[in-house]
């Protein structure tokens, strides 16, 4: 009687190769979870005198304290009301020279969007999430104002603007934010 032997495969080296491949893919895989605030830094001033005098009414002061409370021009404002407050300040048309502005022309808000500056200051111990909430409100306010401008001026949605038209919309409502950390 003849015994046939079944050939065996050595699985030890196969397990080693599989483990090495697993380590390789874990090390080389990139997980796209990059988050941040998209802002374009202003161009460097080429003139000898780079300071611009600001009128008090053209400055919106935003303060974030360590408890997460937001004060807009020394009045406590809820975070869900920030977009409205920013839009009312920017779109005020206080000097009557803005033909696309829809504001009420209040004496306490900006004269014109081109002159408006938002000054954001925060306590050193304030939460990062609160800071991001203010930045999101700023972005939303400018996006909404520029979208309304695009709809009125060019009769298209903001997503359909050409690069030249988008530059005109950005120039109509320029983003001017100054930031400072307190204490």
Q: pLDDT (tens digit, 9 = 90+) per residue, 153-164? A: 999 999 999 999
Judge whether residue 12 has pLDDT over 80: no
pLDDT band for position 173 (cuts 50, 70, 90): very high
Burial label, 92 (beta-carbon count in 10 A; 0-12, 13-18, 19+): buried
CA dist., res. 120 & res. 117, Å (int): 10
Q: Across all residues in the chain, what is the average pLDDT?
A: 86
Q: Is the pLDDT of residue 183 over 60?
A: no
Question: What pLDDT band is residue 45 in, cutting at 50, 70 and 90?
Answer: confident
The residue extents of the domains of the chain are 57-182
Of the listed ranges 33-47, 64-78, 113-127, the least confidently predicted one is: 33-47
CA distance 180 to 126: 13
Q: Cα–Cα distance between 9 and 33 in angstroms, integer?
A: 43
Strands 75-77 vs 59-64: parallel, antiparallel or unpaired: unpaired
- Residue pointed to by tokens 């990062």: 128
Greater confidence (180 vs 126) lies with 126
pLDDT of 55 > 70? The answer is yes
- Please state, in angstroms and rounded to a whole number, the distance separating the CA atoms of residues 101 and 162: 22
Instruction: Quick: pLDDT tens for 30-41.
Output: 877 766 666 666
- Arithmetic mean of pLDDT, 102-120: 89
């Amino acid at each position: 009687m003849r015994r046939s032997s079944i050939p065996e495969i050595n699985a030890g080296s196969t397990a080693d190769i599989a483990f090495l491949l697993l380590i390789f893919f874990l090390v080389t895989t990139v997980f796209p979870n990059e988050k941040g605030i998209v802002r374009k830094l202003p161009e460097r001033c080429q003139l000898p005198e780079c300071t611009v005098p600001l009128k008090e009414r053209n400055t919106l002061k935003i303060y974030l304290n360590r408890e997460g409370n937001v004060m807009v021009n020394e009045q406590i404002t809820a975070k869900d009301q920030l977009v409205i407050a920013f839009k009312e300040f920017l779109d005020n048309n206080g000097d009557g020279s803005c033909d696309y502005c829809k504001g009420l022309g209040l004496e306490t808000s900006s004269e014109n969007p081109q002159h408006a500056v938002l000054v954001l200051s925060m306590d050193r111990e304030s939460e990062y999430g609160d800071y991001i909430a203010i930045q999101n409100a700023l972005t939303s306010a400018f996006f909404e104002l520029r979208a309304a401008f695009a709809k009125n001026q060019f009769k298209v949605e903001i997503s359909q603007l050409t690069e030249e038209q988008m530059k005109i919309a950005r120039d109509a409502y320029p983003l001017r934010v100054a930031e400072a950390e307190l204490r």
